[in-house]
Amino acid sequence: ETPIERKPSWIRTKARTGPQYTELKGLVRSGGLHTVCEEAGCPNIYECWEDREATFLIGGEQCTRRCDFCQIDTGKPADLDRDEPRRVAESVQQMGLRYSTVTGVARDDLPDGGAWLYAETVDQIHRMNPGTGVELLAPDFNNRDELLDEVFASRPEVFAHNLETVPRIFKRIRPAFRYDRSLDVITKARAAGLVTKSNLILGMGETPDEVTAALRDLHDAGCEIITITQYLRPSPRHHPVERWVKPEEFVAHSETAEAIGFAGVMAGPLVRSSYRAGRLYAQTVAA
Ligand code: SF4
Ligand code: SF4
């Protein structure tokens, strides 16, 4: 372990289980349900589950793209599972969630890039769980209007598409995405009347000034909610951690984002794009 790989003290989390968390844990176990929260070993699970919020992954375990920070395997995905939207909606129901985040892999192997799957999942969650908010964290569908429109028509409470990094290093970090194309997807979601959200991961080689510039670009593109997070390297095959961003720097980025005009901001070493997403959404629409 090289010194840079060693996590600084502020990355540690405390496990604080509450009654909602304990109940959810039991429901998930007895129902044989799958959440990203558990399967990714997310450190925020005690907080999110206490608010009855959780995240689900759709589209399978193989992604057709290869982002240098992402722990999901790249490969040929299995055939589309048309029953998945129903199962996810049922999991949301069984868990009694107040807010759910749905994310998934890029399905460039499918003619519709997975648009049906994403839209149908949002739709089924809404139909089976009328009081539950859905945040859709989606890939870019190659910025194709007919696919984006299909996804937007499912009316998630929040449409999120993550930019993740700054232009100078974007190509290396997200070779199958394009900075401007991702901004465009956010612009289109906002134009469709959706609440929009994005994320930036710090510690992959960007400078603080470049973070500010990316925040401006996102806001100009119509992004309303932003999360800013620390990169953690999933394995030695992935991009190295270039720096551990200090808590003070996250505070500074938060203040910058608020000054730029974002309606919802969450930044910190342990923040994930789905961290307390329902709370952040509620704050944003109340503002
Ligand atoms: Fe991971 Fe998404 Fe990139 Fe696929 S497109 S490698 S799931 S970040
Ligand atoms: Fe689950 Fe996301 Fe919260 Fe982690 S941050 S516990 S993945 S909802």
Pocket test for ligand 2, best of 21, 33, 44, 49 (most atoms within 8 A of CB): 44
- Contact (CB, 8 A) for 49 and 25: yes
Per-residue pLDDT at 33: 94
Per-residue pLDDT at 108: 98
- Phi, psi (deg, nearest 5) at residue 106: -80, 130
* Pocket lining: 137 vs ligand 1, CB cutoff 6 Å: no
Provide the 10 A C-beta neighbour count for residue 246. Answer: 13
Alpha helices in 221-246 (DSSP H): none
Ligand 1: centre distance to CA 18 (Å): 32
Does position 227 have pLDDT exceeding 70, yes or no?
yes
Domain boundary assignment for the chain:
52-286
Ligand 1: centre distance to CA 72 (Å): 7
Ligand 2: centre distance to CA 44 (Å): 6
Per-residue pLDDT at 1: 46
Per-residue pLDDT at 131: 94
* Pocket lining: 271 vs ligand 2, CB cutoff 6 Å: no
- Contact (CB, 8 A) for 75 and 93: no
Where does residue 222 rank: exposed (0-12), middle (13-18), buried (19+ CB within 10 A)?
A: middle
CA angle 136-142-148, nearest 5°? 45
* Pocket lining: 42 vs ligand 2, CB cutoff 6 Å: yes
Does position 56 have pLDDT exceeding 50, yes or no?
yes
* Pocket lining: 72 vs ligand 1, CB cutoff 6 Å: yes
Ligand 1: centre distance to CA 69 (Å): 9
| Pick among 2.60.40.1120, 3.20.20.70, 3.30.70.2500, 3.40.50.720: CATH of 52-286 | 3.20.20.70
How confident is the model over 131-153, as pLDDT tens digits?
999 999 999 999 999 999 999 99
Whether ipTM exceeds 0.95 = yes
Closest among 257, 253, 162 to 207, alpha carbons compared: 253
Compute and round to an integer the Cα radius of gyration of the chain. Answer: 18
Closest among 169, 270, 160 to 213, alpha carbons compared: 169
Which-ligand-closest: CA of 61?
1
Ligand 1: centre distance to CA 163 (Å): 11
Q: What is the C-alpha to C-alpha distance for residues 193 and 147, in angstroms, rounded to an integer? A: 16
Pocket test for ligand 2, best of 55, 135, 276, 281 (most atoms within 8 A of CB): 55
pTM value is 0.96
What percentage of the chain exceeds 70 in pLDDT?
Answer: 98
